[in-house]
Each structure stands twice: as C-alpha cells, then as structure tokens.
C-alpha cells in the first residue's frame, strides 16, 4: 500500500493515502502545469493529473467547486500560465493550511475578489480573531447541479457570533459518504438527508468489497440510519445529524438511531441544525479543567498556602533564579497552585471540573469511567492491580510486561502466573503471548481445581515493539473458559489507536464495545449453543485449545481495563496517563479504586499535567483522526524510503509484519503493508483475523547489519545528528512516528541514514581486507551470535505453597520481602565458578530481587525465582550497561538456602 500513489490512476478508496499524498498530487499538478508553460505540447498530462485529482477532491471543501471550475476553465482556454498560477496558490494553501484562515485563498482571482454568497470564504474577512475551522459532510439526494446553491445556503447561516467556522462538503451516495468520512480529516460533523443513492459514480473496487454486505439497504430511512451506524463505527468522534421528511418522532425513538446526535424535520430547521453543529463541536472543544485553570491564572490571587512558586513572585524578583521565570514564562507560575478550591478541583476526590474532564475523556475513548493519573502509566497499572486483586488471587501475566505490573503484584500480594511471549531471538526481543498459551494456563488452572482463584489476564497491547493482540479474540476465548475474568490491557503506547478506524478494533475499549454489541445480538446465543453441541459434554483440553471458543453471552461479565500513557502518543505533558474502565461490576470495586487513588496519587498533583490530559482529549476528539492518519502515513514513508534507497537498504532495513509476526499468527496470509498487492481489504482482513498484527507506527530498524549495536547506534543518532529514537535491542533501534512528526523529520532521518550508509560504504570500499573482515565479524556477532532468550523458570517451592501441579504461579510478595532480611541473602558474582557449581550440584540459586536489563527491559529474574543455566548464560552474554537490580561488583543477590527453608510465607488465602 504505497503512500506515494501519484503515478497510479487515482481511486476514491485509497484510504491509506493521507493528507501528505494529497499535497504531493497537487505539487505534481503544479510541476506539470509549469512544464506546460515551457512546452505547449504538455497539456494532456495536466488534463490527466487534474482528472486524477478529481477522484477525491470533491470530498474536501477546499479548493471547492469554484476554484476547480476556474482551474478547468484555464486549461480549457489553453492558458498554461493562469493554470500554473492558480494550481500553485491552491497547493500552497493546502500545504500551509492557510485556507482555514485566509479569505484570499478562496478567491479564484486574487486581484478581483468575487462577492457572491457562494464565494464567501470561511472567515468573513473582517478583523476577527482566530476561529477554529472544520468541515461538515452533507449527504444529500439532491441532484449535483443544485449542490452549489445548497452550499451557499449553508454559508448564509454563518453568524459573527459563531465560535467556529465551517464549510460544507456535499456528496450524493452512501459510498461517497463512506470515502469522504475516511479521507477528509477536517470533518467534525455529518448531516444526512434521506433519499441519497447507494453507489458512487466513481470506480471503487476496494470500497465495494468493504460495503458489499451493506448493499441490502434500499429503503431510504434504513439507508440513512445504516449510513449513520457505519460512519459512527469509522469515526465515533463525529456528530451525526439526520434530516428526515418522514416520521422523525419514530426515528428518534428507534434503538437504531443511537448513532445520531439529533434528528431534525427536514424543511424547517436549518438554523437550528447550524446551531446544533456549533454546539456539538463546542462540547468537544470545552476543556473543563483547563478552561478553569486559565481563568484561575488571570485572577489576582493572594496565597497564604504552600507552593511559593505559585504566582512567580519569588522567581521574577530574584536576581538568582529569574532565568527560570524567563525560560518558562509567567503564565506557568500564574497557573501553578496547590489549591483544590476557588475554581479548581481535587484529583483525589474530583467533584467539579476534573470530574467533568474525566467524563469527557471517557466519552472520547469509549470507556465508562476514566481516571486521570499524573505519575505515568507506571502508576495507572499499579492502581488497577491494587484495586482489582487481593492477596492470593492469581493473575495470568505476560512475563515480558512493564515492571509496574510485577511491582503491582508484589504490592497486591497477588500470585503472578507468568506466561511467555513468542521469542524473536534473532533480534533479542519478545513478541506477544500466543492465545493458546493463555488458554492453556486457564485450562491447567481448571484441571487443578483452582480456576476460581484466577482473576485477571494482564497483557501489553501493543508491545513496545508493535505487536498488537487480537484483543477481541483473546477476551472472547478466555471468557468462554471463565466468564468473569478481568482484563487489564496495558496500552501505554497505544492510546492514539482509538482514533484510527483501522487500529481501533484492536484496542481494549474498541474490542470491548464489539463484544458488548455481539452480546446484544440474538444470534450470539445460537452461536454459543451450536458450538456447545458440537463440542459435546467433555471436550478434551486439546480440542478446546484448537477451537475458536464462543463464550456464553448470558454469562459474560465484561470487565475490561485499559491504561495508556497519554504523554507517549498524545499531547499530554510527561507522566500524563489515563486509566479507562469498562466494567459491568465496577460498582463492586469502586471503593477499592478510591483506595488505590489514595495510595498512589500524590496529594500535590500537578495542575499542568491534569490540564494537559484535558487538552489532549480535546485535540484527539477534534483532530485526532487526521493526526493519527498522518503518523501512519509518515511511518509508511519512512518504511518505503529505507526499503527503496539503494544505499540505505544495503546496510539497514525495517522489519515488516512478516518478520515481526511468525506466519502461524498471520492466518490471513497478510505479509506487510508495503508489499505489492496489499490493499485495505487485505489489511482489514488481517486486522479481523490474524492473531497478531503490527502497529505500522513502530518501526524496528535493524542496525546490526551496519555493524552497530542498538545502544551504539542510538547514541550516534542522538549525539551527532540530533535524532532521538525509542528503545534499542542488541541489533536494532525502534523508531516511532507520532502525531507530532512532519515530513521534514522524515527527510532529516533519511538524509542521516544516507550519510551513515555512505560512510560505511567508503570505509569498506577504501579499507583494507582487515577493515572489511572486522566489519563482517561485527555484523556476524550482532546478527547471528545472539543469546537465547531465557524463559521464566519457576518460583522456588517456598513461594509455591498451595500452587497447583500444572502451573507456575508464585507468591512474589514473600519472595520480595525475603530480601529485607540481610542475613537471609548472599551475593555471588556472575562469573564466579560457584555459580556453575551450584547450578550443577545445588542448592538452587534463588533470586532475591528483580533483575531487569535495559534493553530488553523485561525481568530476567523476579524475587523468589529459581535461576537456571539459561538465565546465567543470557546474563553473561548481555552487553548492556544498565541492569536494574544488579550490581556487577557485588554479584547476584540470592536468597540463602537456609533462609528459604525458614522463610515464613503467609498462608494462601482462598479466593
């Protein structure tokens, strides 16, 4: 799915070609028009390029009917100069987005502005302050010849009092509405009139296969509601309005109309509709906490309270620290406060604007409740674990998850049953945990008669390296084994995914919504009963592992939690995190959550962090779709540039889905986003069917083939080229595109990779045989002499009291506290032969602490774990400097065998 689509004929359903590709197409048109200025024979290519653009331009308000007609007129009258001049103005306005504010950009003739109603630019051209701009999609059954007049009618509704300015985009069919919703990133609302056609007049094979199942809607009202439902699924943040000439009371009362914000009786209410549209956007724009903080900062408040930094007087009056004030500006200090009253609110017990801000975040992210957290997802995870698990509860946990989960288990006294992700030994990293492994853990617990103690499945989605779970399938199948399991999905990196229709179904909240609507479908019970009959009364574990299990919709208690580091993928300040709740039994744990907030939240949470969470939500609801689209498009451009550049691709490559996800977990046969023949339909199938897929914005750039280890290469990029990358592995670095990236960033990265590749090339070509051999040796060392990744072994018997025969969970908390007794611990240096002797002859080596090397960042030892030869081999081969919990000079911290036999372990509590 090439992002660079300009050389192919355009189709309306190229959903991955984002805003950047559109600008490229306009730039190509400008270049062709300029070539036509120089050579009269080149007109045909201008005609063709404009025709190409016209496949999708009608889905955008700018440049719009008038400017396009003017452009076509210039071409028809054989005027290359006027064509080039107008195309250039349009291309520039699109690139700089100036059309959103500048009235002149909407004029066909800059020197002679038109004055007709239709020519009215988005801002009335007077000395107004900046008003945010958006577009509305109007789906209409009116003939296209009437559209300009209809658009003019919409524009006449504008009032100087309106907080925002919008332009209408008209389409006449279901398919065009679908495409416009996907392609127009400026949309904020959709108005659906009844009576539109189904098919587009354009060719759209990809779209047709997506909408094939919807073709059945023929009745006008049904099509309008069906379209509303489809659009809501694609972009839940949009406000939808229906205009009907029929029985609006019945439509409004129908359960099928829940996607609609309001229903209007068609002919009478245009001004009301306009006001509703503005109000709907206002509701998303409103940031209760941030707005209040701004007001608070303007008030002349005297403080007889803590936080002398508030109001900034001690800073700006100081000779010694005034530079801090100048650096941050006075507003920061005016907005600093330790108050929770006087217009502010308390994060620990929110009742006012923080509560409202959280409610809006819940709406935006599809949750029932949201907690704002100001100490990162490290804290969100610990809060969720503390609130949901009691001592002795079993949680099935990805051993490779972030350390906050492991520490959370220690705090809660829960017993982690570690499950292993599939290894990617070649790149010294882990993938994600196969569903079969998770089901097996549940079935083993069941066989041991302890399934009742299994409370939670705790997984990371997506993983650091971009593996995305089939969240719906994992939850469905686990619920088929135990219908009240709680799911904690750590989506620290994946919060943005809510705003991509392509990634949303794979988020925790997206999948929970799908399961919830499946549970309401009467066919769900039939599906369950049918499978139950097929499986018979006593299916073997193997059969259950092999079968795509259907849960009993009558028994499910859907309990889904998701944490996300808003600061990692959205516009929140560092440490801004959110904890989402979609739990039918939340009322039973609400008090526990309050305790968890009291335990973990600072009593002095930072106001700016809370405000930034509020604002990040606003941004995502109003422009998140376009920003995420852009981040994905940027990732495709980087992937493509690295793959196609002859010099870069000699030494570096980015791992595609086929390399990151073993074929067994790509049941749809999907290979990679950029592969020939991969389109949206195949991508969608992969998202629905495959066990794991790859987040395209997380790019593993292999640098071992260029002779660099990950840490070295990360340092080189940062120190010499001012490029910061994400994590590293032995032979790779992780690049991440996000909503902040621009194509200039891509250009810089590619230039740097070319420069580094050229240096290697010169060194090897000009160097001696020894230089070449040294290079080959270092590539071999990094790419093939890689250590095996050790699996979690098991907890020592002392910490397994009460555990079953088949599973490996343990009392990590008791293991952790043995280290508090210095006499009970010993240190042995890693390369001491004593280690090898003990591994062979015993007594067993038992870790007294977490040992977490960075990279890869997962604990290779947890407290109470028995250390195996594989773990020691891995530690000895590790060439990273940062290993948390391990001091090379002292050695491994172990629990003395005498202490093990006497360690007092709290008796297991029955669930």
Ligand X SMILES: Cc1ncc(COP(=O)(O)O)c(C=O)c1O
Nearest distance from residue 580's CB to ligand X, in Å? 14
Q: Which stretch binds ligand X (CB under 6 A): 93-101, 376-384, 431-439, 738-746?
A: 376-384
Please identify, using beta-carbon distances, which residue of 402 and 698 lies nearer to ligand X. Answer: 402
Among positions 173, 386, 460, 757, the unique one binding ligand X when judged by CB under 6 A = 460
Does the footprint of ligand X cover residue 471 (CB under 6 A)?
no
Nearest distance from residue 597's CB to ligand X, in Å? 16
The residues in 146-185 that bind ligand X, with binding defined as CB under 6 A, are none
To the nearest 10°, report the CA torsion of 128, 130, 134, 135. 30
Please identify, using beta-carbon distances, which residue of 402 and 796 lies nearer to ligand X. Answer: 402
The values of phi and psi at residue 130, to 5°, are: -60, 125
Give the residue closest to ligand X by C-beta: 376
CA atoms within 13 A on the CB side of 134: 26
Nearest distance from residue 240's CB to ligand X, in Å? 34
What binding mask, one character per residue, do residues 44-83 give for ligand X by CB under 6 A, x or -? ----------------------------------------
- 345 alpha carbon, distance to own chain's centre: 29
Does the footprint of ligand X cover residue 404 (CB under 6 A)?
yes
Omega before 725 within 30 of 0, i.e. cis: no
Does the footprint of ligand X cover residue 464 (CB under 6 A)?
yes
Does the footprint of ligand X cover residue 697 (CB under 6 A)?
no
Q: Which stretch binds ligand X (CB under 6 A): 266-274, 331-339, 371-379, 667-675?
A: 371-379
Nearest distance from residue 855's CB to ligand X, in Å? 12
CB 401 within 8 A of CB 592: no
Nearest distance from residue 565's CB to ligand X, in Å? 3
Nearest to 408 by CA among 904, 812, 794: 812
Give the C-alpha separation, 509 to 516, whole Å.
10
Nearest distance from residue 505's CB to ligand X, in Å? 20
Please identify, using beta-carbon distances, which residue of 563 and 865 lies nearer to ligand X. Answer: 563
Q: How far is CA 63 from CA 14, 184, 436, 788, in A?
A: 20, 13, 53, 57
Q: What is the 3-state secondary structure (H, E, C) of 286-332?
A: CCHHHHHHHHHHHCCCCCCCCCCCCCCHHHHCCCCCHHHHHHHCHHH
Q: Which stretch binds ligand X (CB under 6 A): 370-378, 516-524, 536-544, 668-676?
A: 370-378
Q: Which stretch binds ligand X (CB under 6 A): 128-136, 373-381, 601-609, 747-755?
A: 373-381
Helix (H, G, I), strand (E, B) or coil at 162: coil
Omega before 855 within 30 of 0, i.e. cis: yes
Nearest to 168 by CA among 305, 319, 64: 64
Sign of the CA dihedral with 366 first, then 371, 375, and 377 last: negative
Give the C-alpha separation, 596 to 381, whole Å.
10
Nearest distance from residue 500's CB to ligand X, in Å? 19
Does the footprint of ligand X cover residue 398 (CB under 6 A)?
no
Does the footprint of ligand X cover residue 402 (CB under 6 A)?
yes
Nearest distance from residue 407's CB to ligand X, in Å? 11
Q: Which neighbouring-strand residues pair with 169?
A: 137
Please identify, using beta-carbon distances, which residue of 228 and 492 lies nearer to ligand X. Answer: 492
Does the footprint of ligand X cover residue 903 (CB under 6 A)?
no
Residue 182 Rama label (left phi>0; alpha psi -120 to 50; beta)? alpha
What binding mask, one character per residue, do residues 553-592 give for ligand X by CB under 6 A, x or -? ------------x-----------x---------------
Please identify, using beta-carbon distances, which residue of 405 and 440 lies nearer to ligand X. Answer: 405
Nearest to 609 by CA among 568, 567, 580: 567
- Beta strand segments in 584-683, E: 653-654
Does the footprint of ligand X cover residue 490 (CB under 6 A)?
yes
Among positions 10, 56, 287, 378, the unique one binding ligand X when judged by CB under 6 A = 378
Nearest distance from residue 575's CB to ligand X, in Å? 6
DSSP string, 427-487: GTEE----HHHHHHHHHHHHHTT-GGGEEEEEEESS-TT-EEE-HHHHHHHHHHH-TT-EE
Please identify, using beta-carbon distances, which residue of 848 and 852 lies nearer to ligand X. Answer: 852
Please identify, using beta-carbon distances, which residue of 377 and 671 lies nearer to ligand X. Answer: 377
Which residue carries 């993983």 as its tokens? 463
Nearest distance from residue 656's CB to ligand X, in Å? 22
Does the footprint of ligand X cover residue 741 (CB under 6 A)?
no
To the nearest 10°, report the CA torsion of 62, 66, 70, 73. 120
Please identify, using beta-carbon distances, which residue of 492 and 632 lies nearer to ligand X. Answer: 492
Q: Which stretch binds ligand X (CB under 6 A): 31-39, 205-213, 375-383, 738-746?
A: 375-383
Nearest to 413 by CA among 794, 799, 796, 792: 799
Give the C-alpha separation, 23 to 168, whole Å.
21
The values of phi and psi at residue 56, to 5°, are: -120, -15
Please identify, using beta-carbon distances, which residue of 358 and 375 lies nearer to ligand X. Answer: 375
Start-to-end CA distance of the chain, whole Å, equals 51
- 308 alpha carbon, distance to own chain's centre: 38
Nearest distance from residue 573's CB to ligand X, in Å? 11
Helix (H, G, I), strand (E, B) or coil at 461: coil
Does the footprint of ligand X cover residue 736 (CB under 6 A)?
no
Among positions 18, 80, 350, 376, the unique one binding ligand X when judged by CB under 6 A = 376
Among positions 75, 396, 492, 687, the unique one binding ligand X when judged by CB under 6 A = 492
Q: How many residues bind ligand X (CB under 6 A)?
A: 11
Give the C-alpha separation, 423 to 858, whole Å.
12
Please identify, using beta-carbon distances, which residue of 236 and 859 lies nearer to ligand X. Answer: 859
Give the C-alpha separation, 324 to 317, whole Å.
11
Does the footprint of ligand X cover residue 377 (CB under 6 A)?
yes
650 CB burial (10 A radius; 0-12, 13-18, 19+): middle
Nearest distance from residue 824's CB to ligand X, in Å? 31
Overall size of the chain counted in residues: 911
In this structure, the strands spanning 698-702 and 732-736 are: antiparallel
Please identify, using beta-carbon distances, which residue of 63 and 885 lies nearer to ligand X. Answer: 885
Omega before 462 within 30 of 0, i.e. cis: yes
Q: Which stretch binds ligand X (CB under 6 A): 374-382, 449-457, 495-503, 735-743?
A: 374-382
Please identify, using beta-carbon distances, which residue of 274 and 600 lies nearer to ligand X. Answer: 600
Nearest distance from residue 697's CB to ligand X, in Å? 15
Please identify, using beta-carbon distances, which residue of 339 and 883 lies nearer to ligand X. Answer: 883
Please identify, using beta-carbon distances, which residue of 422 and 518 lies nearer to ligand X. Answer: 422
Task: Give residues in contact with ligand X (CB under 6 A).
Answer: 376-378, 402, 404, 460, 464, 490, 492, 565, 577
């Amino acid at each position: 799915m090439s992002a660079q689509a300009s050389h192919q004929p355009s189709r309306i359903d190229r959903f991955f070609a984002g805003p950047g590709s559109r600008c490229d197409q306009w730039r190509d048109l400008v270049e062709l028009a300029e070539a036509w200025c120089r050579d009269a024979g080149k007109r045909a290519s201008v005609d063709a390029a404009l025709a190409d653009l016209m496949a999708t331009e009608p889905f955008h308000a700018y440049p719009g009917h008038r400017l396009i007609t003017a452009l076509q007129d210039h071409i028809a009258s054989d005027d290359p100069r006027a064509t080039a001049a107008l195309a250039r103005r349009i291309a520039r306005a699109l690139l700089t987005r100036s059309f959103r504010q500048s009235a002149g950009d909407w004029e066909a003739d800059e020197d002679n502005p038109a004055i007709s109603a239709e020519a009215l630019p988005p801002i009335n051209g007077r000395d107004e302050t900046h008003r945010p701009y958006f577009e509305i999609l109007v789906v209409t059954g009116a003939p296209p010849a009437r559209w300009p007049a209809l658009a003019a009618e919409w524009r006449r509704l504008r009032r100087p009092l309106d907080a925002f300015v919008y332009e209408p985009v008209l389409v006449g069919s279901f398919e065009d509405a679908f495409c416009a919703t996907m392609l127009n990133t400026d949309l904020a609302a959709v108005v659906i009139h009844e009576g539109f056609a189904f098919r587009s007049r354009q060719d759209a094979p990809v779209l047709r296969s997506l909408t094939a199942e919807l073709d059945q809607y023929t009745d006008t009202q049904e099509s309008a509601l069906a379209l509303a439902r489809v659009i809501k699924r694609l972009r839940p943040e949009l406000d939808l309005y229906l205009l009907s000439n029929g029985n609006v009371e019945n439509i409004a009362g129908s359960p099928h109309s829940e996607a609609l914000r309001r229903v209007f009786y068609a002919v009478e209410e245009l001004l009301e509709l306009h006001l509703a549209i503005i109000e709907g956007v206002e509701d998303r724009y409103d940031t209760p906490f941030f707005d209040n903080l701004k007001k608070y900062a303007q008030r002349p408040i005297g403080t007889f309270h803590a936080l002398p930094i508030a109001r900034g007087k001690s800073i700006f009056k100081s000779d010694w620290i005034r530079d801090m004030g100048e650096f941050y500006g006075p507003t920061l200090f005016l907005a600093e406060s330790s108050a929770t009253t006087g217009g502010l609110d308390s994060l620990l017990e929110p009742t006012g604007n923080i509560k409202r801000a959280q409610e809006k975040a819940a709406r935006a992210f599809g949750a029932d409740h949201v907690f704002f957290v100001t100490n990162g997802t490290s804290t969100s995870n610990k809060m969720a674990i503390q609130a949901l698990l009691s001592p002795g509860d079993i949680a099935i946990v990805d051993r490779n998850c972030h350390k906050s989960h492991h520490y959370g288990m220690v705090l809660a006294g829960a017993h982690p049953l570690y499950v292993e992700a599939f290894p990617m030994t070649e790149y010294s990293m882990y993938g994600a945990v196969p569903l079969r492994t998770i089901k097996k853990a549940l079935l083993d617990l069941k066989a041991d008669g302890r399934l009742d103690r299994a409370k939670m499945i705790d997984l990371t989605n997506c993983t650091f390296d971009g593996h995305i779970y089939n969240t719906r399938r994992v939850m469905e199948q686990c619920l088929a084994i135990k219908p009240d399991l709680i799911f904690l999905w750590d989506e620290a990196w994946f919060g943005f995914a809510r705003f991509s229709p392509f990634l949303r179904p794979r988020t925790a909240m997206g999948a929970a919504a799908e399961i919830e609507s499946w549970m309401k479908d009467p066919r769900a019970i039939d599906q369950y009963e049918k499978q139950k009959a097929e499986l018979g009364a006593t299916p073997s574990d193997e059969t259950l592992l092999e079968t795509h299990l259907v849960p009993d919709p009558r028994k499910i208690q859907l309990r889904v939690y998701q944490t996300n580091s808003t600061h990692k993928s959205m516009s929140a300040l560092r440490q801004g995190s959110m904890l989402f709740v979609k739990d039918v039994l939340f009322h039973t744990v609400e008090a526990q959550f309050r305790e968890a907030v009291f335990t973990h939240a600072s009593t002095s949470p930072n106001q700016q962090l809370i405000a930034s969470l509020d604002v990040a939500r606003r941004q995502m609801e109003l422009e998140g779709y376009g920003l995420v689209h852009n981040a994905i498009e940027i990732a495709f451009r980087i992937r493509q540039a690295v793959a196609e550049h002859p010099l870069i691709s000699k030494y570096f490559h980015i791992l595609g889905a086929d390399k990151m996800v073993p074929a067994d977990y790509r049941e749809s046969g999907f290979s990679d986003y950029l592969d020939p023949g991969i389109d949206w339909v195949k991508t969608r199938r992969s998202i629905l069917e495959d066990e794991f897929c790859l987040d395209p914005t997380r790019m593993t750039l292999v640098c071992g083939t260029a002779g660099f280890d990950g840490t070295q290469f990360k340092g080189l990029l940062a120190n010499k080229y001012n490029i910061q990358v994400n994590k590293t592995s032995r032979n790779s670095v992780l690049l991440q595109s996000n909503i902040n990236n621009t194509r200039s960033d891509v250009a810089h990265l590619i230039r740097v990779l070319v420069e580094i590749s050229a240096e290697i090339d010169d060194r090897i070509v000009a160097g001696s045989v020894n230089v070449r051999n040294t290079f080959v040796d270092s590539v071999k060392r990094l790419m093939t002499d890689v250590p095996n990744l050790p699996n979690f072994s098991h907890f020592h018997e002392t910490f397994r009291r009460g555990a079953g025969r088949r599973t490996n969970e343990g009392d990590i908390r008791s293991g952790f506290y043995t280290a508090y007794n210095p006499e009970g611990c010993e240190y042995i240096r890693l390369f001491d032969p004593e280690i090898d002797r003990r591994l062979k002859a015993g007594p067993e080596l038992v870790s007294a602490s977490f040992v977490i090397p960075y990279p890869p960042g997962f604990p290779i030892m947890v407290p109470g774990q028995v250390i195996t030869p594989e773990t020691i081999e891995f530690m000895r081969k590790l060439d990273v400097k940062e290993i948390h919990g391990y001091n090379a000079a002292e050695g491994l911290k172990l629990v003395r065998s005498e202490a093990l036999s006497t360690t007092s372990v709290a008796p297991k509590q029955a669930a």
